Amino acid sequence: MKLPSPLKTLLVELKKQDTCTTELCKTCEGYKYNHCCTRPGFQTFENTVLIYEKYYMDISYKTFIDTYYTPPVFQYTNNQMVIFYPKVNKSLNESMPNAGCVFLKRKLDGTPGEQFMNCSLHDSKSYDELTTFPLGCITDSATPSPVEYHRFNEYRMSMINYFYPDSTKRFNAKYGVI
C-alpha cells in the first residue's frame, strides 16, 4: 500500500535531517540509554496488521498484541486513533541478548546504519509504502529540538489520522473488543 503523497513527502524531507548516528550506539552505555538504539517508535494499526500477517498468523491477533506491545494508546477526539509501542527489554544478560525493542535481531555492534537495519521489521520500501517497519521509527530522530519534534509529531499524527481514519474501531474489531 503506497503512502499518501503528503505523508511520504514529510518522511522523505526529514530523512535528510536524521540525528541518530552509529557512534551513539557503539558503547554498552550508549546502547542501553540512547533512544536511537533502544527505544522503538510507535506503530499504527496498519503496521501491526502487516507484521501479524507476515510473521505471527499462528497465534491470534489479540495474543500477538498482548505479547509484543504495551497497552495501546488511544488519541485524538473520541479516541478515534490507536497507536502501539513494542515492548522493550530493559537489560542485557545471557538469556536476553538484545536490550531494547523486542523486534531487534541482535545486539548492536556499530555497523553503519544498523540502528534501523537491526530491526527485524526493517523494510527498504518504508519511505514509499506502508510496511512492517513502524511508521513511528521513520525519521523519529530527525528534528533538532523538542519543540521541533513536537511540531513534527503533531503534523505526522494528524496526517496518519486523516489518511488511516477510525483505526480504533478497526483495532477493536480485529482484537475482539465488542
Residue range 10-29: mean pLDDT, rounded: 62
d(CA 11, CA 112): 20
Domain that holds residue 156: 5-173
Number of structural domains the chain divides into: 1
Strands (E), 72-111: 73-75, 81-84, 88-89, 100-101
Do residues 82 and 73 make contact, with C-beta atoms less than 8 angstroms apart? yes
Residue 178 resides in a domain: no
Residue 105 resides in a domain: yes
Closest CA to 156 of 176, 170, 172, 135: 135
d(CA 165, CA 8): 17
Task: Pick the more confident residue, 165 or 152.
Answer: 165
Residue 167 resides in a domain: yes
Q: How far is CA 38 from CA 54, 103, 123, 130, 164, in A?
A: 23, 10, 18, 22, 27
Residue 39 resides in a domain: yes
pTM of the full predicted structure?
0.79
- Best-predicted range by mean pLDDT among 26-40, 74-88, 129-143? 74-88
Task: Pick the more confident residue, 56 or 76.
Answer: 56
